[in-house]
Amino acid sequence: MKIFKEMNMSPFTLSFKEELEEEFREDYFQSSIILFRISVFVGMLYYSVFGFLDAAVMPEIQTQLFAIRFVFVAPLLFIVLASSYLKSFKKWWQLAASILTFFVGLGIIMMTVIARSPVGETYYAGIIIVLIYCGMLIKLRFIWASIAGWLLVLVYGVWTIFFSDLSEKIIIANNFFLVSVHILGMFGSYYLEYYARRNFYLGKLLSREKENVIAINADLELRVMDRTHRLEAEIAERKLVEKEILLAKDRAETVSQAKTIFLANMSHELRTPLVGILGYSGLLINDIDNPEQKEMAEGINRTGIRLLNTLSMVLDLARIESDKHEIHLRSVDIIQIMKEIYDEYKGGATLKGLKFTLDFHSVSCNIDIDIEMLKVILDNIINNAIKFTKKGSVTLKSEIEVRNGISYVLITIQDTGIGIDTKDIPKIFEEFKQLSEGTTKDFPGTGLGLSITKKYVELLQGEILVESNLGKGTQFIIKFPL
C-alpha cells in the first residue's frame, strides 16, 4: 500500500489523482493504440476464419452462424478498427474496447445457444479465449475489462441455468471455469495496468529529475561563466598589479642602487679630508700647552673619530646592500677572539664603574668565519651594552649547543642596562632607527650598528636573538653552526 500512496494511486481503480491521470491516459493511448489495432484486426480475422469450420461441422445452421459472424460481430470489429484512426477516438476508446469485448463474447454465447447441446459445447472454449484475449491484448484497463468480463459471465450463467438443456454438472463446471478464467484475467489485467502506470510514474519522476539536472547544469554553467569572467578580471587586474610591482621594484632597485653609490661616494669623499682633520687634531693635542685649547683639540679629535666611525658604518651598509661585501673565511679560535674583544673594552667598562666579565664554558674550538665581520658584530653589541648600562654589569660568554645532531657555538652578551620593550625589539635592527630618538640625547648614535650587525650575522649563516625586559637589561645571543 505504501507504493500506492507514494504514487497517489488508488489500489482499487488504479487511477491517479488530478492532472496526472489525464497525462497517463494520453500516454497509455499513444503507447497502446498500435497493439490495439493489431489485436482487433487479428481478432476479426480469427473470428472470420472459424466460419469455415461452422460450414463443415454444422451445415444445417450455417446461415444463422454466418449471420452472427459476418453480419453482427465482424462488422463491429471493423467499425471499431476504422474508428481508431479518428482524432477523437482516444476519448472513448476504452468504452469502445469494452463494448467490443462484450459483443464478441455475446456472439459466441449466441452461437452456443443456436447450436444446442452437445454440438454447442464446442463453442464454450471461445468464450474463455475472448476473456483472455480481450483482457490481455487489446489494452483494456482493469476496471473496463472487469465490467465487460462479468457481464459475459452473467449472460452465460443466466442462459445455462434457466434456458439451456445442459446437465447440472456441466452447468456448474462450465460456470466455475468461466468465473475462474475471468478472475485470472482480472489479475493479469490488473498487473499489466499497474506496471504500465508505475513505469509512467517513474518516467515522470525521471523526466522531472532530468529537468532539475538541466536547470542545475544551466545554473552551474552560468555560475561557472560568471566565476570565469570574474577570475579573468582578477587575473588581468593581478597581472596589472604585478606589472606595477615589477616597475616599482625596478624603480626601488634603481633608487637603492643610486643611494648606495651616493653613500659610498660620499663616505669615501668625506673620509679623505677627515683623516687629515684627525691627524692635525692629534698634533695639536700633543703640541698645545694651554688647557682650554687642548680640551678643544681633544673635542675635535673625538668628534672626528665618531664621524669617521659613522662613515665607516655607512660604507659597510652600502657594500652589503650592493652585494659587494666580500667574505673571507678563516679557521679561528672563538675563545681567543673573545679574549681580544674583552681586553679592548675592559678599561672603558671599568672607567664607567661597570663589572665586565668574560665567561666561557667550552674549551677552545675553531670555527670557519670572517674575523673582521665577527669583530664588528661583537664590537657593536658590546659597545651598546656598555653605553646603555649606567650601573651593574656586562657579561660576555660562550658555550657549545647541540640540537638535532648539529653543533652550534653560542656567544651571549648580557647587560643590566635600560632594557628594551618587547614590542620595540624588531625596531632596533632597522636602519637609522633609534628607540631613544626624540626623547633624550644621553645615548647618541646613528642607528646603524645593530642593522649592520644583523646583516653580518646572516651573511655568516648565523642567527641573532634578543631577550630583554624594560629597565632590567638585555641579552643578545648569536648562534653560528660549527
At 432, the pLDDT band (50, 70, 90 cuts) reads low
Cα–Cα dist 233/322, whole Å:
38
Cell of 93: 476508446
pTM of the model: 0.47
Strands 473-481 and 406-415: antiparallel
Cα–Cα dist 177/169, whole Å:
12
Listed in sequence order, the residues at least 6 apart from 413 whose beta carbon sits closer than 8 Å to its beta carbon are 378, 381, 382, 385, 394, 395, 396, 475, 476
Considering only the C-alpha atoms of the chain, give the largest distance between any 2 of them, rounded to a whole number of Å: 176
The pLDDT assigned to 280 comes to: 66
The pLDDT assigned to 325 comes to: 65
Question: Which range among 99-103, 132-136, 225-229, 468-472 shows the weakest confidence by mean pLDDT?
Answer: 132-136
Per residue in 205-242, pLDDT (tens digit) is 888 889 888 999 888 889 899 889 889 888 988 888 88
Domains, the chain, in order of start with CATH, read: 2-216 (no CATH), 330-481 (3.30.565.10)
Strands 406-415 and 393-403: antiparallel
Cell of 251: 624603480
Listed in sequence order, the residues at least 6 apart from 185 whose beta carbon sits closer than 8 Å to its beta carbon are 131, 132, 135, 136, 145, 149
Cell of 195: 506496471
Query: Residue 57 is inside which H or E element, if any?
Result: helix 19-57
Determine the angle formed by the axes of helices 142-158 and 124-136, rounding to 10 degrees. 170
The pLDDT assigned to 350 comes to: 87
Per residue in 238-278, pLDDT (tens digit) is 888 888 888 888 887 777 666 666 666 666 666 667 666 77
- Cα dihedral 401, 407, 408, 410, rounded to 10, equals 30
